[in-house]
Amino acid sequence: MSEEEKENLRLFLKTGLAILTCILLLISAIVYLPKVMPTGAGSAAVWAKKLPIYCVDTQEKKIAISFDAAWGNEDTAQILEILKQNDVRATFFMTGGWMEKYPEDVKAIYEAGHDLGNHSENHKQMSKLSAAQCKEELQKAHEKIRALLGVEMTLFRPPYGDYNDTVITAANELGYHVIQWDVDSLDWKDYGAESIIRTVCGHKHLGNGSIILMHNGAKYTAQALDTLIKNLKEQGYVFVPISELIYTEDYEMDHEGRQHKKTQDLQSGESVLR
């Protein structure tokens, strides 16, 4: 084969590879983009995929600390005392099983002014369930709080942070706001109190409107909590329960799960985010 023929062959292969790459990119765009691109004229933040609330867009230095309660209660009283001493109201997401096992703790949480959140009945992987099964998981836990305290819960955190469109739709139809987090304390990894403090207080996503994830049954959470709260207060943050952080109406979500207050564009009359 002559040098000219070899060069033509190399050129042919390069051209063929470029065409194949373009075809694959086009196929990927057709399959993937409809799931993530915004829909609706004039709005860049109305997303096709349903998302829970990870954090909130706000100009105020407000943040929320939350505790998932699914297993033990050994440190619950200590956590409540630390929150009281620091004048912090938090949000507790509880499973139905935990509520049933520790009703006095549930009452203490409520009487201290903290949010009561639904964490499902049995701590199942919700994305594996049907819509009817999702609703059953929420309703059973919901009825236990209603029977115990006569109150209605409106905040839901899926176990393991596991969700899909079915989970969110089912929760919304039952009047729930689905809540995730943008700052994970990693307290569940049992790395130690200092690790929890460093992880939260120096977290890259920590900012106005952040939601912090912690657990009442983790080994070092109670040890870290007082210093963590004081550090964040020194940074200028004010703690509020999630019910006072999120927007409950006239809001939209961006692709990061950040909740934005919906406002009117005076020129176009369209809804926009601020």
Give the pLDDT confidence of 41-77 residue by residue, as tens digits: 223 334 457 999 999 999 999 999 999 999 999 999 9
Question: How confident is residue 18, by pLDDT bands cut at 50, 70 and 90?
Answer: low
Please give the pLDDT value at position 262.
Answer: 86
Point out which residues pair with 115 in neighbouring strands. Answer: 91
**Using the 8-state DSSP alphabet, how is residue 28 labeled?**
H
Predicted TM-score (pTM) of this structure: 0.80
Minimum mean pLDDT among 34-43, 155-164, 260-269: which range?
34-43
Is residue 1 pLDDT above 90, yes or no? no
Phi-psi domain of 250 (left: phi exceeds 0; alpha: psi -120 through 50; beta: other)? left
| Helix/strand/coil (H/E/C) assignment for every residue in 134-202 | HHHHHHHHHHHHHHHHCCCCCEECCHHHCCCHHHHHHHHHCCCEEECCCEECCHHHCCCHHHHHHHHHC
State the average pLDDT over residues 226-246. Answer: 98
Q: Residue type for 23, please?
A: I
Q: Which residues are known to be catalytic?
A: 68, 215
Point out which residues pair with 64 in neighbouring strands. Answer: 211
Helix axes 131-149, 165-173, angle to 10 degrees: 40
Please give the pLDDT value at position 36.
Answer: 38
Please give the pLDDT value at position 221.
Answer: 98
Count of all residues that appear for the chain in the document: 274
Q: Of 270 and 226, which is predicted with more confidence?
A: 226
Please give the pLDDT value at position 49.
Answer: 79
Of 98, 55, 102, 61, the closest CA to residue 212 belongs to 55
In the block, tokens 């049992």 appear at: 190
Mean pLDDT of the chain: 87
**Using the 8-state DSSP alphabet, how is residue 126 labeled?**
G
Is residue 30 pLDDT above 50, yes or no? no
Minimum mean pLDDT among 82-86, 132-136, 186-190, 260-264: which range?
260-264
State the average pLDDT over residues 158-174. Answer: 97
Q: Terminal CA-to-CA distance of the chain, rounded, Å?
A: 66
Q: Residue type for 146, please?
A: R
Please give the pLDDT value at position 47.
Answer: 42
- CA atoms in the 13 A half-sphere facing the CB of 272: 9
Q: Dig out the tokens for 179 from the structure.
A: 């809540």
Give CA–CA dist 161/126, Å, rounded.
9
CB 253 within 8 A of CB 45: yes
Please give the pLDDT value at position 39.
Answer: 30
Question: How confident is residue 22, by pLDDT bands cut at 50, 70 and 90?
Answer: low
CATH superfamily for domain 55-253: Glycoside hydrolase/deacetylase (3.20.20.370)
State the average pLDDT over residues 247-273. Answer: 77
Please give the pLDDT value at position 38.
Answer: 37
Give CA–CA dist 215/72, Å, rounded.
10
State the average pLDDT over residues 2-27. Answer: 58
Q: Of 14 and 161, which is predicted with more confidence?
A: 161
Give CA–CA dist 241/239, Å, rounded.
7
Please give the pLDDT value at position 19.
Answer: 67
Residues sharing a CB contact under 8 Å with residue 162, sequence separation 6 or more, in sequence order = 125, 126, 127
Q: Is the dihedral of CA 86, 88, 91, 97 positive or negative?
A: positive
State the average pLDDT over residues 94-104. Answer: 98
Residue 238: phi and psi, rounded to 5, are -115, 130
Give CA–CA dist 114/109, Å, rounded.
6
Please give the pLDDT value at position 272.
Answer: 52
Please give the pLDDT value at position 180.
Answer: 98
The percent of residues in the chain predicted with pLDDT above 70, rounded, is 78
The number of angstroms, rounded, from the C-alpha of 113 to the middle of its chain's C-alpha atoms is 22
